[in-house]
Structure 1
Amino acid sequence: MTGLATATDIEGPWSDQGMVTDVNYPIDPNVDWGPDGRLYICWGSWAGSGIYIHVLDQTTGKLSTTDNNLWHIAVGIENPTIIRNGGCYYLFGSKGLCCSRTNSTYCTVPTTTARPSSSLTTTTTATTPGRRPSTSGR
């Protein structure tokens, strides 16, 4: 379940505003403004059925009750973050085995799309776990 807490000061006190969603293993939520001026939340996990995105109500901070679209945008990743740069949207997510100390293979993988409504395509330039991308141009 993903919940909402609010405060007028970063140090609190915080007030529990209740559940935002319990749809499809809602962990690692990320909230951002869309190009249409609406607020969106994305969440999900590789352990669930993938990454989802939904419009938030800007007044309540909870799922919109006037826009009931639920977009399933990716599978095989978790911890989604979406950014826009140069007219493209980039979805970053984590994949691999986490929490296993030196045996972890967790890494960040990027995907991209020209439009938020089109299918996201996994790129082939993901960094190999435990290695940094080359900066030498090779």
Structure 2
Amino acid sequence: MKTTSILLSASVLLGLSCQPEPQVSTVEPDQQRSNANARVSGNVPSHDPSTIARSGSNYFVFNTGDYLPIGTSTNLVNWGGAGNVFRTIPSWINSAVPGFGTQFWAPDAAYFNGRWNVYYSCSTFGSSTSAIGLVTAPTIPTSGAQWTDRGQVVRSSSNSDVNAIDPSILVDGSSVYMAYGSFFAGIGVYRIDPSTGKPTGGRTIVAGGGGADWEAPCLIKEGSYYYLFVNRGYCCRQANSTYYIVVGRSSSPFGPFVDKNGRSLTSGGGSFVLGTQGRYIGPGQLSRIAGTQNGSVHYYDGNDNGNPKLETVRFTWSGGWPTVAYY
């Protein structure tokens, strides 16, 4: 359920490893920053950013926007534009999502099967007629001509289904999983076939449901637990946005996910993780950089008319539960 069009202009295959391309953060945690001081700088509007990917010596982030814009950085602090994934809209989208236009939503990126896999969302505001697609490349290029579109991954067409937007990809050794969903029937999880990048087996609903405000999942693993972070509240209202992030954990990527009090995320549970702090209004679309305790969110900048921006965060752990904080 996104309104970003009004906010942004601008494997295992026969034994091949699913482990990520080396992604070692060069940024060490510094002291907790004042809410008045944004860490990320640069002229790169960011809404629903992907997991930050490291390819070669550069970091990349994929954002909601026309033709799927790419941002790049060498240090996770200073960011600039790096072109777009697409030059034209893949033909399958117009039949799957009538009225789609040119603005892709809420992508995610993960390295497996010897390539970068970027999942993207296609929808129109308030509609359950949606689809998630996949585009791949051996390294992250900044020219759309070097990407290969793999077509539809999953599709939805009714309010009783999991809305096919907001993918979150977890590479767990030789296994790959996708969490996704927004409002409507809640958050679903599929196992992904590493050789194709597409679902195999059935879907499990792990959070939300009944049209409640659950969206933008982030599925990660830490130790022996899987953690599902999910946004509650509403995005896309600039300084009036009410997004906040909750979490549950499970011994399985298919749940059941429960919060610190043992309440299931399918029954309204969820332990609070991050919400509005000073200029950082309505943080959302949490992700963690593979192999690190660094991550990112978007927020609506209270010091800049509520414009959506990227900011980095760090994960810390105590008693099997996470804390997420700005640098």
The verdict on a shared fold, with TM-score over 0.5 as the criterion, is yes
SS of residue matched to 2:226? strand
Cα distance between partner residues in 2 of 1:7 and 1:56: 18
When the two chains are superposed, the root-mean-square deviation of aligned CA atoms in Å is: 2.4
Relative to structure 1, the CA distance from residue 17 to residue 102 in structure 2 (aligned partners, 3 Å threshold; closer, same or farther) is same
One-letter amino acid of the structure 1 residue matched with residue 224 of structure 2: G
Report deviation, 1:127. Answer: 4.7
* Partner residue, 2:52: none
| 1:79 paired to 2:229 | no
One-letter amino acid of the structure 2 residue matched with residue 19 of structure 1: Q
Contact 2:177 2:253 in 1 (8 A): no
Cα distance between partner residues in 2 of 1:5 and 1:115: 28
| 1:2 paired to 2:132 | yes
* Partner residue, 1:58: 194
Relative to structure 1, the CA distance from residue 118 to residue 77 in structure 2 (aligned partners, 3 Å threshold; closer, same or farther) is same
Question: 264, 269, 272: which is aligned to 1:126?
Answer: 272
- In structure 2, stretches of 5+ residues that fail to align are 1-130, 157-161, 261-269, 279-322
* Partner residue, 2:182: 45
Cα distance between partner residues in 2 of 1:127 and 1:39: 25
* Partner residue, 2:164: 26
Cα distance between partner residues in 2 of 1:72 and 1:18: 24
Q: For 1:14-54, what per-residue CA distance to the aligned partner results, in whole angstroms no more than 9, with x for missing partners?
A: 1211100004211110111246x3211111012x2111111
Report deviation, 1:125. Answer: 4.0
Larger radius of gyration: 2
Cα distance between partner residues in 2 of 1:128 and 1:7: 33
- In structure 1, stretches of 5+ residues that fail to align are none
SS of residue matched to 2:256? coil
Cα distance between partner residues in 1 of 2:233 and 2:182: 11
SS of residue matched to 2:228? strand
One-letter amino acid of the structure 2 residue matched with residue 57 of structure 1: D
Question: 223, 226, 230: which is aligned to 1:89?
Answer: 226
Relative to structure 1, the CA distance from residue 77 to residue 6 in structure 2 (aligned partners, 3 Å threshold; closer, same or farther) is same
TM-score, normalised on structure 2?
Answer: 0.36
Relative to structure 1, the CA distance from residue 54 to residue 118 in structure 2 (aligned partners, 3 Å threshold; closer, same or farther) is closer
Cα distance between partner residues in 2 of 1:87 and 1:30: 19
Report deviation, 1:129. Answer: 3.6
Relative to structure 1, the CA distance from residue 81 to residue 8 in structure 2 (aligned partners, 3 Å threshold; closer, same or farther) is same
* Partner residue, 2:78: none
